Amino acid sequence: MKVILLRILKFLTNNSYCKNYNRVYFLNKGFMIVGLSNRLIICISLLVVVMVSCIEQQKLSVYEDQLVYAFELDKQMPLVSEEYPNLSEEEAYRIQKGYVNKLLAHENIGGYKASFIDTKVHNMDKVGNPIFSVIFESDIQPHNSELSLYGIHKPVLETYLGFTFNQSIQNKVNDIDELKSLIDSYRLIGDITDLKFHNLNKTKTVDFIATNAVSSFILVGDTTKYTGQDFHNSLVQINYNNNQLYELRPKRDTQKALEDLLWLINTTIDHGYPIEKGTLLSIGDKAHLTPVRHGSYEMLTETAGMLSFKIIQ
């Protein structure tokens, strides 16, 4: 790094813009600058800023590699918030993008989702927007699947709704009316998330963003054709081994669900990802987290059908 800096300083002092204003003495073990002009001070200051930024980006790239390692070997995810306590959500999304791009070397995109973090469960501050993340094709499992929890640390089941569209979407959608014209069908989604952080009490929003919301399985029910009907105000019943675990109603109505879907579409476009015809977009409800264990599950709704799956080991 010092060699690069010295070369840049030589270039700056030999440049006609600065050469008549400065005397630079290079020593065997370092450098010393005497009689600097304001112009050269500005040049060096900008150089230092760029170098610090490059070093930080290199550190974040190392963290991306750690995430890939944890993902591929089913290890616990490191907390980026411990290493970078002042990390912004924008920076966390850059980590997510790098992490996802590395996984795309051997994965394919199956869709996108908007997750709501339950602040009571995770002891976090209030979260405004949902968390955007990428769904991989290998995560998507059909109705009646038999699944293994091998390598999964703390699985929980959440209820989502998934949507597909009647055409590809290249540009942002302007409003709800335009969105309704694009929806082809919707379906019930069972999202099994692995809360594989080593300390859930210390997780922050940026940890969920950077790790791509850590989904393990996206279970999809049968599709229902969308014709403008109310789809998000029905009871959801979860059964385990033929016994009812709980019954609840979503916290948001259909209008709010459509607003969340509009946000997800436009955020996907902002992140530079394609939305092809048939791509799955899934929105969460933050209604309930159900710990998952061995056995048979059924998810029943009044308007979005049902799905079932079995955990076999």
Give the helix/strand (H/E) hosting 181.
helix 176-182
Q: How far apart are CA 154 and CA 292, in angstroms?
A: 8
**How far out from the chain centre does Cα 139 lie?**
14
pLDDT digit string (tens) for 142-161?
A: 989 999 988 787 888 988 99
Mean per-residue pLDDT, 192-198: 80
pLDDT digit string (tens) for 5-40?
A: 545 555 555 554 444 444 444 444 444 444 555 555
Parts of the chain belonging to CATH 3.90.850.10: 110-311
Q: b/e per residue, 192-204, with b = 16+ CB within 10 A? A: bbbbbbeeeeebb
pLDDT digit string (tens) for 113-127?
A: 998 765 544 444 445
How far is the first Cα of the chain from the last one, in angstroms, to the nearest whole number?
Answer: 51
- Reported pTM: 0.77
Give me the CATH code for the 110-311 domain, please: 3.90.850.10
Question: 57: which residues sit within 8 A by CB, 6+ positions away?
Answer: none
Task: Look up residue 139 and give its DSSP letter.
Answer: G
Q: How far apart are CA 195 and CA 190, in angstroms?
A: 15
Question: Quick check: helix, strand or coil at residue 255?
Answer: helix
Q: What confidence score (pLDDT) does residue 40 get?
A: 58
